[in-house]
Amino acid sequence: MPMSTQDRLSWRRWNLDYTKRLLANDPESQMARAVLSCWPARIQHALGTRFGLTKDEPTTEPETRTYTAFCHQRNGVGTIWIGTVEVPIRDYREDEQMEAVYQARCACARDWGWHFEAADGSSREDISEIVCMGLAEGDVTIAMWDDTHLE
């Protein structure tokens, strides 16, 4: 079940407070650096400046993130679609990944030629029977794949 907006804000405040405590105690520690790296660039810059870790120039952050997605028919029949999608970077990784799953399912439907006619006469991707089994961050090169056992 997805978190409510109130729960997300509470977690975000707690995580930000935790990050600040780590930075206040030992800003050079590996844990502090790791936790700081989880935040978007603008927050990293603000916290880094506050705790003396960064220069005054803001860091540049890519505006999108690439995911490699693995999609399949809901009934488990057929091949597994593997492709990449780019989504806007968001403050909450869960929202970003949900967008990546949606884009992957749409791209898979386009590649497989699965469409339906909408009420207004336009054609749209039919993603109702496509599931995204997983996401890998980045444009991953598949070295070997054998799904013949699924036939």
Per-residue pLDDT of 58-88, as tens digits, reads 556 678 899 999 999 999 888 899 999 999 9
Share of the chain above pLDDT 70, in %: 91
Is residue 55 predicted with pLDDT exceeding 60? no
| 88-97, 115-124, 127-136: range with highest mean pLDDT | 127-136
Q: What residues form DSSP beta bridges with 132?
A: 71
Q: Mean pLDDT, to the nearest integer, of 124-132?
A: 89
> Distance between CA atoms of 22 and 51, rounded to whole angstroms?
10
Q: Mean pLDDT, to the nearest integer, of 9-21?
A: 81
Is residue 147 predicted with pLDDT exceeding 80? no
Q: Say what the pLDDT of residue 59 is.
A: 53
> Distance between CA atoms of 53 and 23, rounded to whole angstroms?
9
Mean pLDDT for the chain?
84
> Confidence band (pLDDT; 50, 70, 90) for 106?
very high
> Confidence band (pLDDT; 50, 70, 90) for 54?
low
Domain boundaries, the chain: 5-50, 64-150
- Crossing angle of helices 5-25 and 30-37, in 10° steps, is 150
Q: Which residue has the tokens 């056992």?
A: 149
> Confidence band (pLDDT; 50, 70, 90) for 107?
very high
Q: Say what the pLDDT of residue 151 is.
A: 62
Higher pLDDT, 55 or 82: 82
The separation between CA 28 and the C-alpha centre of its own chain, rounded to angstroms, equals: 28
Q: Mean pLDDT, to the nearest integer, of 35-40?
A: 81
